[in-house]
Structure 1
Amino acid sequence: MVHEETDTTTGTKERFSRSGFILAAIGSSVGLGNMWKFPYITGLYGGAAFFLLFTICLLFIGLPVLMAEMTIGRGGRGSPAIALVRLSGQRLWGGFGVLSIAGAFFIMSFYAVVAGWTMHYAVLSFGGVIHEGVDVAATFNNFIGGFLPVLWQFIVMVVTGWIVIRGASGIEKFNKVLIPALVLILLFLMVRVLMLPGAGTGVEFFLKPDFSKLSNESVLVALGHAFFSLSLGMGTMMTYGAYVDREQSLGGATLAVGGGDLLYALLAGLIIFPTTFAYGIEPGQGPGLAFVALPAAFSAMPVGWLFGGLFFLLLAIAALTSCVSLLEVPIAYAIDRWGWGRNKATIVTCSLCFLVGIPSAISVGGAAQGLHWGSRSFFDWTDFIASNIILPLGGLVVTIFVGYVWKNAAKEAGLTAGWFMLWLFILRYVAPILIVLVFLHTSGIIKI
């Protein structure tokens, strides 16, 4: 049940129930990256050794920053730009908040494109179009070479807008249905692929650590992935935090979200690696893994149309739960900043995001594939700027704000004195340094 008591400080009426908030936050952290980026970096940096490193980074750096974002959101009762100004009393911080809002907007613009790919492939798989003997590489190239990606991008925007236009209530109901469905599909697919001949080799690769592959670079890669997988630096957790009741434990919610993210990464690995090893597929292919290599593998299985369809349905659900949280960030800002009604804010934001995303949709093999600057397409540049520049800067702002600027963070967080001092120490002295290193590494300024 969604509560709608008016907050005495700001008058906002949006509220999640306790379980609804946790599921919404988990839905935001569950995304496509764990299905194609995570297998690649895990294999490259030592299998289980990297997964252990990723877990450590998530627990000791990711979760403290996650809790900081939630605390700012609940304390300021508004979108990132509004909350930061309310808590600091200084307009300068509003500019930093707008940066994270812009990051969410631009990530949504190209994320909707890939989400559309997953929906299209779910339809193809369930319809039996992708079957043994079909040239799956040609199928994918023909698809992205036309204008169908724009149509599917439009469908994603409409579906996401239809959910978000209902506010916290719509987001909560959506996640209460889709997150359990996601878990069931994950478990079903995991059991199926573990039965494949040769699957044990993939499990061993994923769960047997190779510490010789760990390096300084692997630490930054693990931290960067933990940061991205928790949806940090893009304002989503601040926005969702604004819809949390004062009685809810932010520490407990943070642990629940971190646990959900780790479980998803683990199950994803237990699906991807057994499948790739069973069929001799290289797991480090990025999007090519999901849309070319794995469809070929599923098509070779008995009743492959079902398992392939479920796999892409899984990806579509993961994409949509992230799309909902991304779109809510600029919508909440429009409502707070200009006093728009939710209907107007949703329609205008969806329309703008769709238009901005069209060049991304047609620059990956489509009509604008020649639209390159340097070695990157429009799609790649949007991804690079939002993910590797705006997100780390947004995370850095959060650590500095809670660590040095906001004096009432302890009261809002609800931590005991000992836990608060540890949390503050990480936010002041550990997280900022590591975030700067991640920023310098992912932006290509330094190489380690």
Structure 2
Amino acid sequence: MSLSKGQNSLNDKNERFSSAGFILAAIGSAAGLGNIWKFPYITGQYGGAAFFMLFIVCLLLVGLPVLLAELALGRAGRGSAASAMVKVGGHPVWGKLSIMYVIIPFVILSFYSIVGGWTLHYAIQAFTGKLFSNNDFAGQFAAFSSGYAPLAWLLIVFAICAVVVILGVSNGIEKFNKILIPAKVILLLVLMVNALLLPGSGAGVAFFLNPDFSKLTIESALVALGHAFFSLSLGMGIMVTYGAYVDRRQSLGTAALAIGGGDLIYAFIAGMIIFPTTFSFGINPAQGPSLVFIALPAAFSAMPFGSFFGGLFFVLLAVAAIGSMVSLLEVPVAYVMERFRWSRIRSVIIVSVLCLLMGVPSALSMGLVPELKVGGKSFFDFVDFTASNIFLPLGGLMVVIFAGYYWKNAAEQANLKPVWFRIWLFALRYIAPILMLLVFLHTSGIIKF
């Protein structure tokens, strides 16, 4: 494939989704590590079903309206996330602000890919039985994450993503997700059935489905809102970029509902895997990020066919991570293709190398070079905190302000019936901005509840 300028432009036929392919790709992006890794432990912390119900409300009030706004903006702009606002009539200053939508996924990808590498390593370790040869799972994780091995796994998962994105939208991202999503569904169902058959699993199901409203606070509401936003891949340019590849005949309202529904079902099934498993083996489901890499391996080691089911679980995590990584990589790739008129293969290679270079200090800061710190945090934690708690809420706030107050043709592009358009516009103007501002103030540490 030639590296000449202009080849594989964003207007090529290969740079379009089919209707089903678009929905599958969007769900593949949304249904990532967050709903398996983060959702269970924050649900455990904030009241089980009560938090899950709050999560649903946040999806409806904020998640779906913002999702529709991003998709409509992308389809109307037919370009990268950085140019969409200007292309639909926005002042050039919006273009300067929109560069944030290229920076955010690039930064997230630099550390998210490290965790993706961990999951692939753990899948192989589980299937071979090496993961369960030593019951010191905390020690195993510390030894692995603080060594050189994560750099190799970082390179492997990045290479997989790069190949998918090089192949283009229809031949790469769409076809990849047409395999990935059914595989993910099968893995989810097999793991859920196994979890429900474990002795004592009923207590976990009861915890997940019986609400404890006493644990609901302003903080839990903001956590639910932040997770709803993150789980739908909002505020980071992904859905704006994917919207640019959608056929104009596609109903965006229907697509938004399908994406939101897929994300919700995915989170529910993840809960039906994690909570029965943790309760069956006396594990605290609210213990935080260590749940996946330390606590759950202990559970798999104690159950029949633990190597098999543990391997399936980490394959599920790896598949989910790579699906999200593909969508994250596509955003800056689309930008450099448009901005510099580079070919897709050249764009993917350059963006991937730069992102890998940024990921190296994050990986090293986990143990090999603990002195790599910024503001008292390890480089990994600093990049994670900055992207997730500052950039993402600001990115979301920017799109709701633009779509709700500035964009004159929003109604035409969203293609909603008048009553639904008024509801959508009300949510964008009066509900989403206030709540997103509160999330930003809370997650950035400016205010505490």
Q: Normalised by the shorter chain, which TM-score bucket?
A: over 0.9
The amino acid that maps onto 1:340 is W
Summarize deviations over 1:322-345 as a string: whole Å, max 9, x none: 000000000000011111110100
**Which ranges of structure 1 fall in alignment gaps of 5 or more residues?**
1-9
Return closer, same or farther for 1:423/1:85 CA change in 2, 3 Å cut-off.
same
Whether the aligned pair in 1 keeps the contact of 2:41 and 2:291 (CA below 8 Å) is: no
Query: 4+ residue runs of structure 1 moved beyond 4 angstroms?
Result: none
Can you list the C-alpha shifts for 1:348-390, whole angstroms capped at 9, x where unaligned? 00000000000111111x2122322344210011011111111
Is this contact kept in 1: 2:252–2:415, CA < 8 A?
yes
Aligned length: 438
Q: By how many angstroms is 1:62 displaced?
A: 0.4
1:278 pairs with 2:280: yes
Letter in 2 for 1:320: I
- Code of the residue aligned with 1:105 in structure 2: it is F
Tell me what 2:191 maps to.
189
Checking the alignment, whether the CA contact within 8 Å between 1:131 and 1:300 is kept in structure 2 is no
C-alpha deviation, 1:132, in angstroms? 5.9
Q: Give the aligned partner of residue 3 of structure 2.
A: none
Kept in 2, the 8 Å contact 1:36–1:284? The answer is: no
2:362 aligns to what? Answer: 360
Matches within 5 A, 1:205-224: 205-224=207-226
**Following TM superposition, by how much is the alpha carbon of 1:435 offset from its aligned partner in structure 2, in angstroms?**
0.2
Q: Deviations over 1:144-197 (max 9, x none)?
A: 121000000011110000000111120000000011100110010000011111
Instruction: Report the 3-state secondary structure (helix = DSSP H, G, I; strand = E; otherwise coil) of the residue aligned with 2:287.
Output: coil
Contact kept? 2:300, 2:310, Cα under 8 Å: yes
CA contact (8 A) 1:96 1:394 kept: no
Q: Which amino acid in 1 is paired with 2:267?
A: A
Tell me the distance in 1 between the aligned counterparts of 2:224 and 2:268: 14
Alignment of 1:2-21 (within 5 A): 11=11, 13=13, 14-21=15-22
- Shift, 1:83, TM fit: 0.9
1:28-427 matches, cutoff 5 A = 28-131=29-132, 133-169=134-170, 170-364=172-366, 366-427=367-428
SS of the residue corresponding to residue 132 of structure 2 reads: coil
CA distance in 2, matches of 1:284, 1:114: 20
TM-score of the superposed pair, with normalisation by structure 2: 0.96
Q: Write the distance in 1 (CA, Å) between the matches of 2:34 and 2:102.
A: 20
SS in 1 for 2:154: helix
Q: What is the identity, as a one-letter code, of the residue corresponding to 1:85?
A: V
Residue 431 of structure 2 corresponds to 430
Shift of 1:131: 2.1
Residue 296 of structure 2 aligns with an amino acid whose one-letter code is L
Of 34-43 and 158-167, more deviation after overlay is shown by: 34-43
Mapped to 2, the partners of 1:239 and 1:129 lie a distance apart of: 41
Query: Within 2, Cα distance between the matches of 1:215 and 1:153?
Result: 38
Cα displacement string for residues 402-438 of structure 1 (whole angstroms, at most 9, x for unaligned residues): 1111111111111011111110111011100100000
Give distance in 1, aligned partners of 2:445 and 2:426.
Answer: 28
How far apart are the structure 2 equivalents of 1:411 and 1:417? 11
Contact 1:100 1:391 in 2 (8 A): no
How far apart are the structure 1 equivalents of 2:173 and 2:289? 28
Q: Deviations over 1:217-237 (max 9, x none)?
A: 111111011000001000000
Shift of 1:40: 1.6
| Amino acid paired to 1:135 | D
Counterpart-to-counterpart distance in 2, 1:221 and 1:340: 40
Q: Which amino acid aligns with 1:335?
A: M
- The amino acid of 2:216's aligned partner reads L
Alpha-carbon distance in 1 for matches of 2:105, 2:286 = 26
Residue matched to 1:6: none
What are the ranges of 5 or more consecutive residues in structure 2 without an aligned counterpart?
1-9
Aligned-residue identity in percent: 62
Structure 1: how far apart are the matches of 2:129 and 2:418? 59
Alignment RMSD (CA, Å):
1.1
Contact between 2:51 and 2:216, CA under 8 Å: does it hold in 1?
A: yes
Question: Does the Cα contact within 8 Å between 2:202 and 2:276 map onto a contact in 1?
Answer: yes
Task: Note the C-alpha offset of 1:88.
Answer: 2.3
Quote the Cα distance in structure 2 between the aligned partners of 1:219 and 1:430.
14
Q: Contact conserved, 1:101 with 1:234, CA < 8 A, in 2?
A: yes
**Residues 89 and 407, structure 2, Cα contact 8 Å, conserved in 1:** yes
Q: Deviations over 1:104-163 (max 9, x none)?
A: 000000000000000000010111112265322221111112100000001111000000
1:80/1:94 contact within 8 Å kept: no
- For 2:129, what is the secondary structure of its paired residue? coil
CA distance in 2, matches of 1:337, 1:289: 42
Alpha-carbon contact 2:90-2:407 (below 8 Å) kept: no
Cα separation, 2, equivalents of 1:435 and 1:264: 24
**Any idea what SS the aligned residue of 1:80 has?**
coil
Please tell me whether the aligned partners of residues 82 and 337 of structure 1 are also in contact (alpha carbons under 8 angstroms).
Answer: no
* Matches of 2:36 and 2:164, distance apart in 1: 24
Q: Contact 1:31 / 1:319 at 8 angstroms: preserved in 2?
A: yes
- Give the Cα–Cα distance (whole angstroms) in 1 for the partners of residues 319 and 283 of structure 2: 24
Distance of 1:274 and 1:260 partners within structure 2: 22
Partner residue in 1 for 2:6: none
Q: Hey, what's the Cα distance between the residues in 2 that align with 1:284 and 1:156?
A: 29
Cα deviation, residue 90, structure 1: 2.0
Pair 1:49–1:403, CA change in 2 (3 A): same
Superposed displacement of residue 12, structure 1? 5.1
